[in-house]
Amino acid sequence: MRTHSPFSLTPWVRGLIVANAVVYLLTITVFTGPWFYELFAFNPARAGTQLWGFVSYMFVHGGFLHLAFNMLMLFFFGPAVEDRMGATAFGLYYFICGLGGAAFSFAVGLFTPVMPFVGASAAVFGVSLAFAMHWPDAPIYVFPLPVPIKAKWLVVFLATINLASAILGSDDGVAHLAHLGGFLFGFIYLVSEGAVARRAGEALRRPRPESAIPKARRREAQNAEPPVATPPQEPSIYDEVDRVLDKISATGLDSLTPDERRLLDDVSRQLREH
């Protein structure tokens, strides 16, 4: 895991923090009326007529402490996760978690009333989940605890608190359902991406059966001149995939470098396209 100084944030993390801060400044200086929250919050009861709310709610916050909590979590967890995933995948993952928070709240709202809500918490909680899944034993210092706790236990604690509050119907003004939706969609994404990468590598690793090679190409190969000796070539993508899969077998998926993960992602994308 690469460490970052406070002044070397990754592109998506920097952009998201700036965007959320700008929107907050606008809500306390220009758009100060309640209409702004009513228009850009996610309201499950109006989701069909205010579709933009599925995205816009992620950039609106109910107060400075609300904004500060979410942006601090993104500041601490986001850069390492963006480095690991790559910028494009991180941006996609962030919005999937945010959309998941709204979608899960909407689904529950079909059966019981759910209050409108704002905030980046669902997306940020998804980022914290990704951090904990990649570096479960990383020490996290949480004020005012005197000792650090492991990332995996911090996320388990957050998920448990939100689940209990949602089940008990806590009236604390916190969007617990959105938080759970962010966790849920983030978990599904991370697990499915890992499975796709492993399947892609295994598919490339398997030799192609002769029946899969067109007959014309087989005849050409049989009638071809003996190959001429050539200088050693660079390792093929198949060799690289073999090496990465061997590494996964020996030390697990979390041991891969960003370049190795991008290789598997590229291969899996090519397989899906073909």
pLDDT digit string, tens, across residues 147-186: 999 999 999 999 999 999 998 887 778 899 999 999 999 9
CA–CA dist 272, 274 (Å, integer): 6
Active site residues: 121, 179
CATH of segment(s) 11-179: 1.20.1540.10
Question: What is the helix (H) or strand (E) element at residue 223, kind and residue range?
Answer: helix 215-223
Give residue 218's pLDDT. 54
Q: What angle do CA 102, 107, 108 make, to 5 degrees?
A: 100
Find residue 150's DSSP bridge partners.
Answer: 139
Q: Which of 85-94, 128-137, 242-251 has the lowest mean pLDDT?
A: 242-251
CA–CA dist 194, 205 (Å, integer): 17
- Look up tokens 């990754």; give the residue: 10
Question: What is the helix (H) or strand (E) element at residue 149, kind and residue range?
Answer: strand 149-150
> To the nearest whole number, what is the mean pLDDT of the chain?
84
CB within 8 Å of 46: residues ≥ 6 apart: 53
Mean pLDDT value of segment 56-81: 96
Is pLDDT at 126 greater than 60 in this prediction? yes
